[in-house]
């Protein structure tokens, strides 16, 4: 796949150019859809740090997205703090929650880890859903005031694009760093990684915090795009939907989740015009992908890492 490697930077530049020009040439609704695609892609990429690169079954990822959004929304509406603080508060809250949940889950492996995470996630959801006086309960929070610079349609698009690009670039550097290589070593064989002196739990916790942080960043972008937050964005079914995005695009490639997220968001927008049976379509796609394309769309071009059935850590 040498040709792919060589042409990749060029492709990315072309893509970035197209994205920069997008609001100038397409109507407002398309720009809005593009914003959703971008922030969802950021979310899926952050999940993939944990699941694709470290082998941690992060089944509650939507919670960090939701807490990122709520952190930002609550700071903007209730505290009177300046916007930059709010945009930092959300992701930081998500990172802290990720650390706390990680400390409980990290003692267990694989599916057990995942099931406890999904359960703790629904606990957080239940609290947000019920705490009317603070979070607005099931109504969520609407009409969140935004600074003028990002309040306009174009402003919010370029802000979303810039933050997504920076976030994805940062995660790309993390994956390519020695730290990232250690994560992949843990994924492929935790026992071997421990044997050569890697502190497995510490690395796992670190990647959970990083994934939670970027998931929270995606949530903050949601506030910019939608001006509102609601508890269903952190419901466990959405966590699994983001997981589908990673799987569809290819979990063992960096840009797989990006491709998967774009495909699913666009499909959903397209399908919702024509049918009310989106779940049926998504379920069928997922079934077909699992049976015929278990390595995802981009996985077709990349050799899959070996030792998937390594002993649990």
120 binds other proteins (CB under 8 A): yes
Task: Considering only the stretches 4-12, 75-83, 180-188, 234-242, report the one whose residues sit in contact with other proteins under the rule CB under 8 A.
Answer: 234-242
272 binds other proteins (CB under 8 A): no
252 binds other proteins (CB under 8 A): no
Binding other proteins (rule: CB under 8 A), the pick from 1, 279, 292, 303 is: 279
Site pattern 59..98 for other proteins (x: CB under 8 A): ----------------------------------------
Burial letters 130-158, b for 16+ CB under 10 A, else e: eeeeebbeeebbeebebeeebeeeebbbb
Q: Choose between 3 and 279: whose C-beta lies nearer to other proteins.
A: 279
CA torsion through residues 113, 119, 123, 125, sign? positive
Task: Considering only the stretches 122-130, 174-182, 198-206, 266-274, report the one whose residues sit in contact with other proteins under the rule CB under 8 A.
Answer: 122-130
Please give the radius of gyration of the chain, using alpha carbons only, rounded to the nearest integer: 19
107 binds other proteins (CB under 8 A): yes
Given 3-state DSSP classes, what are the helix, strand and coil percentages for the chain, each rounded to the nearest 5? 80, 0, 20
**Shortest distance (Å) from residue 177 CB to other proteins:** 26
112 binds other proteins (CB under 8 A): yes
Binding other proteins (rule: CB under 8 A), the pick from 104, 191, 202, 307 is: 104
Cα separation, 129 vs 148, in Å, equals 30
**Shortest distance (Å) from residue 312 CB to other proteins:** 10
Contacts for 5 with CB less than 8 Å, ≥ 6 apart: none
Of 165, 271, 264, whose CA–CA distance to 221 is shortest? 165
119 binds other proteins (CB under 8 A): yes
Looking up tokens 């390519």 gives 176
Helix (H) or strand (E) holding 41, with range, is helix 28-54
3-class DSSP state of 67: helix
**Shortest distance (Å) from residue 101 CB to other proteins:** 10
CA 8 vs CA 41, 182, 298: distances in Å:
18, 24, 13
Query: Exposed (0-12), middle (13-18) or buried (19+): which is 25, by Cβ within 10 Å?
Result: exposed
Q: List the structure tokens of 256.
A: 């797989």
273 binds other proteins (CB under 8 A): no
Binding other proteins (rule: CB under 8 A), the pick from 21, 26, 85, 126 is: 126
Cα separation, 300 vs 284, in Å, equals 20
**Shortest distance (Å) from residue 59 CB to other proteins:** 8
Q: Choose between 82 and 294: whose C-beta lies nearer to other proteins.
A: 294
Task: Considering only the stretches 112-120, 141-149, 184-192, 298-306, report the one whose residues sit in contact with other proteins under the rule CB under 8 A.
Answer: 112-120
158 binds other proteins (CB under 8 A): no
Q: List the structure tokens of 10.
A: 């060029």
Task: Name the residues that contact other proteins, by CB under 8 A.
Answer: 51, 57, 104, 107-108, 110-112, 114-116, 118-120, 122-123, 126-127, 130, 235-237, 240, 243-244, 247, 277, 279-280, 282-284, 286-287, 290-291, 294, 308-309
């Amino acid at each position: 796949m040498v040709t792919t490697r060589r042409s990749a930077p060029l492709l990315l530049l072309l893509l970035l150019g197209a994205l920069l020009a997008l609001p100038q040439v397409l109507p407002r609704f398309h720009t809005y859809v593009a914003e959703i695609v971008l922030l969802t892609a950021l979310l899926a990429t952050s999940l993939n740090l944990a699941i694709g690169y470290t082998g941690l079954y992060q089944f509650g990822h939507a919670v960090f997205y939701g807490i990122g959004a709520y952190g930002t929304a609550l700071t903007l509406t209730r505290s009177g703090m300046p916007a930059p603080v709010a945009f930092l508060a959300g992701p930081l809250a998500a990172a802290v929650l990720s650390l706390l949940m990680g400390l409980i889950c990290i003692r267990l492996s694989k599916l057990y880890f995942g099931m406890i995470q999904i359960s703790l996630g629904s606990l957080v959801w239940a609290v947000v859903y019920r705490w009317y006086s603070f979070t607005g309960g099931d109504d969520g929070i609407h009409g969140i005031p935004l600074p003028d610079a990002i309040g306009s349609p174009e402003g919010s698009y370029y802000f979303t694009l810039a933050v997504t690009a920076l976030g994805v670039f940062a995660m790309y550097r993390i994956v390519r760093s020695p730290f990232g290589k250690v994560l992949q070593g843990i994924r492929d064989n935790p026992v071997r990684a421990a044997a050569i002196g890697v502190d497995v739990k510490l690395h796992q916790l670190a990647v959970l915090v990083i994934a939670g942080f970027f998931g929270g960043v995606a949530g903050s972008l949601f506030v910019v795009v939608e001006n509102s937050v609601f508890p269903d964005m952190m419901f466990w079914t959405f966590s699994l939907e983001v997981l589908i995005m990673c799987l569809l695009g290819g979990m063992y490639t960096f840009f797989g989740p990006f491709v998967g997220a774009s495909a699913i968001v666009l499909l959903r927008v397209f399908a919702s015009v024509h049918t009310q049976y989106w779940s049926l379509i998504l379920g069928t796609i997922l079934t077909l992908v699992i049976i015929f394309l278990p390595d995802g769309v981009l996985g077709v071009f990349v050799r899959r890492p070996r030792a998937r059935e390594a002993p649990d850590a």
